[in-house]
Amino acid sequence: MKMLKNVFIFTLVLVLFIGVYSCSNNKNWVAKIEGEKISLEEFNTRFEYYLKSKYMQAQRPDLIPQARNSMEERKAALKDMINERLILKEARKLKLHKREEVQSLMKLYTQQIILNAYIEEYLAGDIQVEEEEIMEFYNKNRNDFRNMDPDMAKRRIKYQLMMQKYDRKIMEVLAQLKNKYRIDENESAIRPIVSEKSVMDGTGQMPGKGMNMPQMPTANIKKTEPAPAPEAPKTDEPKAEEKTK
């Protein structure tokens, strides 16, 4: 349910601010829903995000190039897009995108998309971990990996070292930006107002109607526990002939 909400909000932002949901004159389309096209360009963008989300979470970015040639993966991504559009058609009929709370969330997500693009291109994109670094870490902490498959151990170590480098880099960049821009904080404006009408309810949350803020997809490097690695995707490329002995 949370993932569905994430997809809904993310796609709704694209719909209203980028215009991907409008009728397209592009002849290269991959699907139609009541005559409304999903263009090949839209699909390629969504497919790339689909692959990065799946294989970066599993710490197997090495499988992404192979997955790009998998018809099975492409069909799965297209199915996701069609499902999203079906829900969006109903949401637009209900004019959910015009609600004030949805408009506020969409503004926040627009900023988040730009932020993620900056992180991916200028911060996370050039972080590399060399094989020597992985082996050095492994040898110093060999006992921690004695019951683990060697390949899995290397992926975990690489992930950990990448996160360490990413944390150092983001701290350096933030230090530079804080020196570059003036920052004024008004703490009095964010102080909680305590009164009899604003007491905490039994669930530990303030009473009243509101919307939960689902997490947007972030840059390729994510601070999450590594997921089980997916199997190598099947590709439609012809297999090379085995060499004769």
Backbone angles phi, psi at 39, to 5 degrees: -75, 160
Euclidean distance between CA atoms 99 and 210, whole angstroms: 12
Q: Residue 218: pLDDT above 80?
A: no
pLDDT of residue 3: 44
Euclidean distance between CA atoms 171 and 57, whole angstroms: 23
103, 163, 214 from 211: Cα distances, Å = 12, 31, 9
36: which strand partners? 33
pLDDT tens digits for range 147-186: 888 888 888 898 889 889 989 998 999 999 999 999 898 9
Residue with the bigger pLDDT between 133 and 192: it is 133
Confidence of residue 1 (pLDDT cuts 50, 70, 90): very low
pLDDT tens digits for range 16-52: 454 444 444 446 899 999 888 999 999 998 999 899 8
Tell me the pLDDT of the chain averaged across its residues: 76
Residue with the bigger pLDDT between 235 and 142: it is 142
pLDDT of residue 191: 85
Confidence of residue 214 (pLDDT cuts 50, 70, 90): very low
pLDDT of residue 12: 52
Cβ atoms 110, 16 nearer than 8 A? no
| Tokens representing residue 91 in the block | 């949401």
Percent of the chain with pLDDT over 70: 68
DSSP notation for 156-225:
HHHHHHHHHHHHHHHHHHHHHHHHHS-----GGGGS----GGG---TTSS-SS-----PPPP--SS--SP
> Could you give the dihedral angle defined by the CA atoms of residues 77, 82, 87 and 89, in that order, rounded to the nearest 10 degrees?
140
The pairs formed by 171-177 with CB atoms below 8 angstroms and a separation of 24 or more are 173/123
Q: Residue 14: pLDDT above 80?
A: no
Euclidean distance between CA atoms 210 and 102, whole angstroms: 11
